[in-house]
Structure 1
Amino acid sequence: MLARLLEPQVERHLLVDEGEIIVDEVRKHWAASIGWYLLLAASTPIFALMIPAGRFFWLPLAAGLAAFLTSIWKIHVVHMDRFVVTNMRVFRVHGVFNQMLATMPMTRILDISLHRPLAGQIWNYGHFTFESAAQDQGLRDIRFVGRPEERDLTIQRVIQRAGLRRTMRPSEKADADY
């Protein structure tokens, strides 16, 4: 039970009997939690304010504890968020006490959009948006994906190898026209 609270254990969601294997397991990029690490670092000077606060030491103590505990919790929540590409589907597992699982078979993926903000271009992360024919999707936005171009190519490769998309072969006559 304790292991489930510390790691998302994505392997237990695989269809092993059907031959499903993990192609890529994606952890959130460090940029997703940098703000929480900064808050964690800020808790130390907040605790230090207890000394000059005198008899009101409990105010910086409470603020320092709130900053410390909130940042530890949020860092762990980011750590537990995983996006997984298998040879059959993509899925996302997230949550600590209440784990949520959202799945989309490769056959349902119609379009993948990649958004790279300026910070994402500098630190090599991006945000994916998956489009499918379904109106209500449990798996639409995947944020803070590290090395997004490589991950996009991996997904496209899995779709292609599964034979879900046809490859257009230019005819010899069309090649001669160019």
Structure 2
Amino acid sequence: MLTEEELEGLRFDAAGLPVGPRRVLPLEPEPSPLVSRYLFPTERYRGEWRRHWIHLVPELAIGVGATFVMGYASGLLAKHNQGGVTGVVVLLWIAVLVWVGWKHLDWYFDRFILTNKRVMVVSGIVTRKVAMMPLARVTDMKYEQSPVGRMLNYGTFVLESAGQEQALREVKHLPNPNELYLRVCEEMYEPEAVEARLGRGEEGGGADDA
């Protein structure tokens, strides 16, 4: 368990400046029902995140574009008394909107999950996919941000492992990448600091030994 002096040192960076409120994301108390089914009893939940809304931009752009095209085509066909063709255009437009709605649901159920043992990505509605990588096997980790990503605060995580095959390597469009990067690094290299912040220092040690 960390001493009070060590815990106090975590509140300041290398330059001696106080650690700001955005340096470490708050710890969520409980996993959602979607995530809890994938956690084993001795695993400590640290948080789950949906991808940034930018992930939906291509689908939303298609939906908006289809709406404008449908409106223009319907007006043009109405002038030429093509009621049957207009019905087909409307059905196609509805199909596009249903597809956009499905993509939105897929985004909602897509989660990046962090525990004290591993990182996971759960995705899919009908066909559920669960990819994970143990923190102990992560040999390198980085995140990348484009200029737009820096403005909108999202990035791509790249995880490297000692193994040949990797079920989880690149995770795109994660929100707050700097804070999330610090969270994962802290879990990898300073797990006692996390437990100390949670007030679980002694309790966590007993659980890990079990």
Please tell me whether residue 123 in structure 1 is matched to residue 152 in structure 2. yes
Question: Separation in 1 of the partners of 2:33 and 2:61?
Answer: 25
Please tell me whether residue 53 in structure 1 is matched to residue 82 in structure 2. no
Which TM-score applies when normalising by structure 1? 0.79
Residues 26 and 82 in structure 1, CA contact (< 8 A), matched pair in contact too: yes
1:142 alignment counterpart = 171
Please give the per-residue CA displacement for 1:11-53, whole angstroms capped at 9, x wherever unaligned. 111112x1x2221211100100022223333343344342431
Gaps of 5+ in 1: 1-6, 164-178
Please tell me whether residue 76 in structure 1 is matched to residue 105 in structure 2. yes
Deviation of 1:147 (Å)? 0.5
Question: Separation in 2 of the partners of 1:108 and 1:37?
Answer: 37
Matches within 5 A, 1:1-150: 9-16=34-41, 18=42, 20-48=43-71, 49-54=73-78, 55=82, 56-150=85-179
Question: Separation in 1 of the partners of 2:33 and 2:165?
Answer: 25
The alignment partner of 1:103 has SS state of strand
Residues 94 and 100 in structure 1, CA contact (< 8 A), matched pair in contact too: yes
Residues 77 and 96 in structure 1, CA contact (< 8 A), matched pair in contact too: yes
Deviation of 1:85 (Å)? 0.6
The one-letter amino acid of 1:12's match is: R
Which TM-score applies when normalising by structure 2? 0.68
Percent identity (aligned): 27
Deviation of 1:157 (Å)? 0.5
Greater Cα shift, 49-58 or 80-89: 49-58
The alignment partner of 2:166 has SS state of coil
CA root-mean-square deviation: 1.9
Relative distance call for 1:94 and 1:9 in structure 2 (3 A) is same
